[in-house]
Amino acid sequence: ELVTTESNYVAILDSVFKISEEAENPDQQGGALLDQQEMKIIFSNLVLIRKVHTDMLKKLHELELNWTDESCIGSVILEFSEDLLKAYPPFVNFFEQTKSQILECDRRSPRFHAFLKKCERRPECSRQTLTELMIRPVQRLPSMSLLLNDLLKHTKKLSVQLGRTTEHRDVGLLEVAIDKVKTVMTHLNEEKRRTEGQITIFDIYSEIENCPASVVSSHRSFVSRYDCIEVAAEDVLCGKGYELTLFLFTDILLIAKKKTGKMGGMIRSPSNMSIASGHVTLQTKALKFVSLLHLSSIQRVVDILDSPDVESGVVALVYRQTEDLEKRSERCYTVQLQSETQDEKLAVLRTICRHVANTMCRPDPENLLVRLGAKDMALDASDLIVSSLSRTFSSLYKTKQKFGRAFSFNRTPGTPN
């Protein structure tokens, strides 16, 4: 079964390469169906995979032809384990881009569309589309792992049936081979998440006007985004009533504001899914950069408790300014998250606390979260009534009390209520 499935897999890879050669052929009527860039995106990452499995299939065929009770399949898999680790990440990590490129070329080029339909009718393609054929490498390693586990089980039974006092030599080799294949799959998952995270950061950078280039960094990963409205506070990011979007990364919190149109309406930014999928296309940038907070400088995350006068979702971030090393002044930014319930708000705050603690190597993220009432924060109902129109009057707004009188940033808070 291992030889049969490997033969079928290599045959599929060969069919894909035949398609690529025909699509690239400049001598056909009308010239090549795809340009060099399109060919590279769709087919280039399959070259190493095809070579590894072609060589592996040759070894398996030789083993099958010269089979004895002492033959070991595990040794063949181990021989190619490092090659598998090198071959698969480039393809799997960018498979979504490969699919998108196929669909785009199919939509844009009638010649390529007709060519793909013709290829589907070939016996070796079995009426499968090019995208369906290209997904096979993503599926191959998991199916190989299942086959090797099944083979290991039967090899152990063989030792018992032959009345051996020791296990078959292939048992140990198969166990190591299975671990190697699992290592490749784990590495693929980690690489895929890292690659998707980098693509997401580029998309966010492209979405925000005047976004600092330093946001794009290989050591940084995107965590989540939260829409909110700024409410009353002595320290402001933009002003009361401004619609903000918070982008949480593993080490920074990027704050942007919704840009206003000519008629004063807010231009909405894309949904979370559109960013995560890596297909954000904007005619104009919907957000404008406001500030960048380093998580290591966040001192407290305040959950402002709900009351009859306070709507759900109001939170505050106590941040230590580090630009002026002598003053090291602190700021408190108050916003209302667009969360439906207290549980949802707490989930957001705990996520922020966890990443703040990670940047400071603290084992106690729960101690960063403080729960206070609106009165403890020197806020009343009028301070917290916000709308997108109230930003017009934000320059006239002054808080009735200094926030520092109600809450000392340097004081260690008591146990949360």
Rounded Cα distance between 370 and 28, Å, is 70
Burial of 367 (0-12, 13-18, 19+ CB in 10 A): middle
Q: Please state whether the predicted TM-score (pTM) of the whole model is above 0.75.
A: no
Per-residue tokens: 124:
């070796």
Residue 284's pLDDT is what? 65
Residue by residue, pLDDT tens for the chain (417 residues) are: 999 999 999 999 999 999 999 999 988 888 999 999 999 999 989 999 999 999 999 999 999 999 988 889 999 999 999 999 899 988 988 888 899 999 999 999 999 999 999 999 999 888 899 999 999 998 999 999 999 999 999 888 876 776 766 788 899 999 999 999 998 888 888 777 777 777 788 889 889 999 998 898 878 888 899 999 998 667 888 888 899 999 999 999 999 999 875 433 444 444 344 443 444 444 467 899 999 999 999 999 999 886 655 556 889 999 987 655 455 578 889 999 987 688 888 899 999 999 999 999 988 999 999 988 877 777 766 666 555 434 433 433 334 334 443 444 444 444 444
Q: Give, for 256, the enclosing helix (H) or strand (E).
A: strand 252-258
For tokens 């190493």, name the residue. 48
Q: What are phi and psi of 361, to 5 degrees?
A: 55, 40
Phi, psi of 308 (to 5 degrees): -55, -25
One-letter amino acid at 184 equals V
In which residue are the tokens 């393609």 written? Answer: 125
Query: What's the CA gap between 12 and 137, in Å, rounded?
Result: 10
User: DSSP letter string over 322-352?
Assistant: -SSTTT--EEEEEEEE--SSHHHHHHHHHHH
Nearest-angstrom CA–CA distance, 290 and 395: 17
What is the amino acid identity at position 374?
A: A
